[in-house]
Structure 1
């Protein structure tokens, strides 16, 4: 219905003119959007939003963070943790990561460190603080300056205060002059606190009564003058020397054992009259002095002489006449005596071979050999010198009573060198060794026409020039058992081969080589044989240790005589001569198939070494008794070689070694010859060995 429409009027109503007319107005819509924006950014809304965000962050922090608990000793220590760390009870609430901490407490050294907190679990970390050092104030009774020792080591202290002592139980020792040490064990608390120690000191001296006859003597102890006798002195405990001295009297030195607190009275000391002093000088100086036959020293010197007695004073010097005086001197008197010594000469004749050598006396050229020299009667160093020869040196004291002689035999450098090499010695196992200096060229082996010859005795031209030592006898059981204590050479049908002085047998070549190496080590020499375990794998020809003789050395030592090679140990002809060696004779008839019917050596099997005559070189049993292992490996030549071999030693490896010489089992012509050769590697009851050494 519009405003202009008529409204029906009922009876009794007012007329239309009685009501106001309704006029239309403009319409404005409500601004809903602007109002919502004002509400959203209002302060209240912002506060609520910020609170919610903070709560959310706290909730996330609580869910992600872990507790870090640092347990400290002491428990009341202050703990500081770097970064964002919320204190929470006994620890801190932190996010996972690395944190630095510092722990401190009063009286303790602060301690810092780093700790890692993982996101998996809470973290605990223990920190123990070190107590600060403590201080100790020593109060001594009586109050004297003291030294403080902690656990035996002296520490710096001032007026009894020792600072910076580590905490803990300590042994404290108080030392001071003239008082006994004071020791206590105390607990140093540390924490920079000062503790006090009361030390009641006990005297370390005793009263000693000292007197002398005559009185008035000065008493000195360890350089300190205490007074004059009689007196009572306080002496520190220990062994003391009390000196009591008085002019014109001898000083008395009395040992006194002093015990703290134990007083004592010394027996009165009788002081003897002082010695007289004789100031002795001589021309020349350095003369020896004797008083009543007792040596006192050399001039110039002061000699103390007992007063009231005549003393026989004698001066003497090489090259001068002795002088003797009788001296009587008073107590405490000083007297001077100067004596001129007269030179004494003697005559010495010096000759030389070869002649015309120069003579040096005391380092100066004096003349030529063949002259007579007049020399002071004292020791002189004589040197006789000639070009191409070593100097001859000696000392001599000429005599005024008779002419003396010196004959100088001059040696070449080579002769002088060999004069220093011993001609013989005894090795460490007890065997005797002789020096051999061969300079020989000879033919080893034997001619095909020689009766009894074997095919392996091929002729070889050799030269032997290298000097060597060789054992005079074969190695005995006694000597070998020093190397192998349990070795036995056994027996043959009840006949013993095992006595100490019999040659060792039933040993292999390797056993003999190992003995040589052992002996080299015992005597401090370089071993010849190279080994791997118990195997010999080669040898060193430059080594100076022991070995077996080479075949050339053995042949020369056994056969070479006056430029020719003898056939048998006794010579060149049969029959066997008496006492020539130990061969298979009638005594061995029960042990071997063939014997020498016309020869007797007194032994059925082996004989004691050196039982028969030595050869011209002084070597025993190179023929007979036992055959001998040789250094060389066994080889056979093809005929007489035109090439001369010098000092041959054989090859380095092979299966068998040479055996030379006859034994107690042999009686045949073949074996009795010195050119007889055999070979083997394993032990036999008639094979032993002797040792040799090169001289480098």
Structure 2
């Protein structure tokens, strides 16, 4: 490079102008190294000036929390580096361009930190970088060499002997927990930075020495499930409650709860162990037998029993239906005996009487022949059944016993016999009618002889037979009973004499009303209605129905007149005047009301009486011949039932159609002797002041079937 002449003594002399000519060569500019150096210097000067104008002053400070006051922070001498490519340190500050930088901080005893910072457009900025002290270590010194757990602030940190590492710097609660000693806690300021500090601590004993002996010796001593050794033994036990067990082969374990007090040793008196029980494994054939050991129930077989050794034991095994098995046992300690008891059936002879003689006998479902016999049965419950076609089978439960000689009698019934055995002889229905059963019936003589005084032409003689058992009310239907069906009913009065008392027979009732009452009563009792109706009027009969109805004329005559030794003419017999008060007729007291009365007869009533006030007749029925005459089921015909044929009629229901219905029996308003005859027949359609009714119904089986 050519150096410039900088001499101050150089003189620049003028020269004459000389015009250029075409032949003269043009001078060229040439870049020298100086030029390039100036350019580079200028470029970097420009960059520096730009950096200075754009850069921001920042201060990076490393700090750490104070050990004594964690909320305060102290400055830490640390190595700090920043990831900026262009930076200019200026004392404790530096210039960097705005932007995001990664700062790395490290210092002895602290965990290195790498942190991102954002330098903004603000001229002066400060950044604090927080360092964490490295954990410290602790060496704990105890007065004696012990193994113990070490807890820092309540969390398990390690055990001693040994150095506890990784303890965070700061104030810490150190707890040492050693077996047989009470836990001890002490505060310490852990300086951290990997420094190992020494802490001396003293532990308070929490144990006492216990001594155990046993008879026999050599027994295992177990405390809280841990084997400590064999007797005799002296051992340290921690204070508190413990479960002590001392056990030895062939002896019963000894167990006790002991409460240990620190530093208060105790010598336990010699513990005498009891010999162990023997074991009886007991089973039976069959299983499920009751077991009694020394008069105490222990359960059912199979079972395992603990038996006191060196002593006789009474064992009884029993099961229903088998004989008692009894045995005496003598077992050694810990001896195990297996016993299987075969029980013997307990057989008892039971005499069985059977009728009919050819009926089949079954015991517990198995056929045992037929007819009367002696059964060999055990004392278990048994089911005995006796069967024969055409008869109702019988089954009963029997438990044979030795207390009495057992005799069982079984008499089979036919289906009909069984049916009637279930049918009550009497019952009272829901309205209060007391119903009486008649099932032994027979021939009935109807009408009257031409020689009978007062006989009327409509009393034609013929015979009928009653075969269908029936129930009939003991009393006539009362006003109260009828009002249960028809609330507005009123029997009215006769010449000022009231006929409407609750217990008096209901009168002024038409045949239709009486029949409809029967149907209502059937529905109330759950029976099939006897009378068929159309639009509320009776239009026909259902002879197969078991519902309530009126008596047929033949039934009425059989109940009132027919006796085994002949026919009654009057309710009281054959004489023309009653000897006693047999029924409510028109007596002397009713003379002011009625045209015909019985002379020298006083029944105590001017009008109708309450039902049942007069003696029952030979059939056990009241008021059949007096008080109120009665509607019966039959249509009226002057020839009776003879229109149905000349042969003996069975259970006739009367003519199939007619204008009137039959009325039978006398009443409180009848005093004319021919009308008091039991053969007397009346008829009508509408209600009358002295005509009532009583209810009846078929009882079931028809003998003709």
Quickly say closer, same or farther: Cα 1:294–1:485, change in 2 above 3 A: farther
Quickly say closer, same or farther: Cα 1:587–1:353, change in 2 above 3 A: farther
Quickly say closer, same or farther: Cα 1:315–1:560, change in 2 above 3 A: farther
Unaligned 5+ runs, structure 1? 1-214, 217-276, 306-311, 327-333
SS at match of 2:630: strand
Structure 2 CA distance for aligned equivalents of residues 677 and 423 of structure 1: 30
Task: Look up the match of 2:368.
Answer: 366
TM-score (norm 1): 0.52
1:594 to 596, 621, 640: 596
Quickly say closer, same or farther: Cα 1:317–1:485, change in 2 above 3 A: farther
Deviation readout 1:166-198 (Å, 9 max, x if unpaired): xxxxxxxxxxxxxxxxxxxxxxxxxxxxxxxxx
Structure 2 CA distance for aligned equivalents of residues 478 and 279 of structure 1: 79
2:672 to 659, 668, 681: 668
Structure 2 CA distance for aligned equivalents of residues 346 and 575 of structure 1: 70
Task: Look up the match of 2:122.
Answer: none
Matched, 1:560 2:562: yes
SS at match of 2:485: coil
CA contact (8 A) 2:284 2:302 kept: no
Task: Look up the match of 1:179.
Answer: none
Report 1:257-336 matches (<5 A).
282-285=284-287, 317-321=319-323
Tell me which structure has the larger Cα radius of gyration: 2
Report 1:536-685 matches (<5 A).
536-562=538-564, 564-637=566-639, 642-685=646-689
Structure 1 CA distance for aligned equivalents of residues 528 and 295 of structure 2: 56
Structure 2 CA distance for aligned equivalents of residues 477 and 290 of structure 1: 72
Structure 1 CA distance for aligned equivalents of residues 421 and 588 of structure 2: 47
CA contact (8 A) 1:290 1:313 kept: yes
CA deviation after TM superposition for structure 1 residue 540, in Å: 1.9
CA contact (8 A) 1:345 1:400 kept: no
Structure 2 CA distance for aligned equivalents of residues 509 and 503 of structure 1: 15
Quickly say closer, same or farther: Cα 1:313–1:429, change in 2 above 3 A: farther
Structure 1 CA distance for aligned equivalents of residues 648 and 654 of structure 2: 14
Structure 1 CA distance for aligned equivalents of residues 698 and 666 of structure 2: 25
Quickly say closer, same or farther: Cα 1:280–1:630, change in 2 above 3 A: farther
Task: Look up the match of 2:508.
Answer: 506
Quickly say closer, same or farther: Cα 1:296–1:412, change in 2 above 3 A: farther
CA contact (8 A) 1:537 1:653 kept: no
Deviation readout 1:225-246 (Å, 9 max, x if unpaired): xxxxxxxxxxxxxxxxxxxxxx
CA deviation after TM superposition for structure 1 residue 656, in Å: 1.3
Task: Look up the match of 1:421.
Answer: 423
Deviation readout 1:319-375 (Å, 9 max, x if unpaired): 23578999xxxxxxx999976555333332222445565543333343554433332
Structure 1 CA distance for aligned equivalents of residues 523 and 683 of structure 2: 28
Task: Look up the match of 1:686.
Answer: 690
CA contact (8 A) 1:490 1:496 kept: yes
Report 1:320-399 matches (<5 A).
320-321=322-323, 341-355=343-357, 357-367=359-369, 369-385=371-387, 389-399=391-401
Structure 2 CA distance for aligned equivalents of residues 510 and 337 of structure 1: 86
CA contact (8 A) 2:322 2:343 kept: yes
CA contact (8 A) 1:438 1:466 kept: no
CA deviation after TM superposition for structure 1 residue 296, in Å: 12
CA deviation after TM superposition for structure 1 residue 395, in Å: 2.7
Structure 2 CA distance for aligned equivalents of residues 461 and 302 of structure 1: 82
Structure 1 CA distance for aligned equivalents of residues 420 and 471 of structure 2: 13
CA contact (8 A) 2:356 2:371 kept: no
CA contact (8 A) 1:526 1:545 kept: yes
Report 1:394-543 matches (<5 A).
394-543=396-545
CA deviation after TM superposition for structure 1 residue 587, in Å: 3.5
Range with bigger deviation, 435-444 or 683-692: 435-444
SS at match of 1:670: helix
Report 1:189-268 matches (<5 A).
none
CA contact (8 A) 1:359 1:369 kept: yes
CA deviation after TM superposition for structure 1 residue 514, in Å: 1.1
TM-score (norm 2): 0.52
Unaligned 5+ runs, structure 2? 1-223, 226-278, 307-313, 329-335, 701-705
Quickly say closer, same or farther: Cα 1:613–1:380, change in 2 above 3 A: farther
Quickly say closer, same or farther: Cα 1:639–1:378, change in 2 above 3 A: closer
Quickly say closer, same or farther: Cα 1:467–1:294, change in 2 above 3 A: farther
Structure 2 CA distance for aligned equivalents of residues 587 and 631 of structure 1: 33
Quickly say closer, same or farther: Cα 1:482–1:361, change in 2 above 3 A: same
Quickly say closer, same or farther: Cα 1:318–1:516, change in 2 above 3 A: farther
CA deviation after TM superposition for structure 1 residue 691, in Å: 0.9
SS at match of 1:592: coil
Quickly say closer, same or farther: Cα 1:290–1:444, change in 2 above 3 A: farther
CA contact (8 A) 1:538 1:653 kept: no
Structure 2 CA distance for aligned equivalents of residues 600 and 668 of structure 1: 15
Quickly say closer, same or farther: Cα 1:494–1:405, change in 2 above 3 A: farther
Structure 1 CA distance for aligned equivalents of residues 291 and 693 of structure 2: 64
CA contact (8 A) 1:279 1:300 kept: no
SS at match of 2:551: coil
Quickly say closer, same or farther: Cα 1:300–1:636, change in 2 above 3 A: farther
Structure 1 CA distance for aligned equivalents of residues 581 and 496 of structure 2: 25
CA contact (8 A) 1:344 1:400 kept: no
CA contact (8 A) 1:435 1:468 kept: yes
CA deviation after TM superposition for structure 1 residue 523, in Å: 1.4
Structure 1 CA distance for aligned equivalents of residues 293 and 689 of structure 2: 75
SS at match of 2:413: coil
Matched positions, count? 424
CA contact (8 A) 2:641 2:654 kept: no
When the two chains are superposed, the root-mean-square deviation of aligned CA atoms in Å is 4.6
Quickly say closer, same or farther: Cα 1:377–1:661, change in 2 above 3 A: same
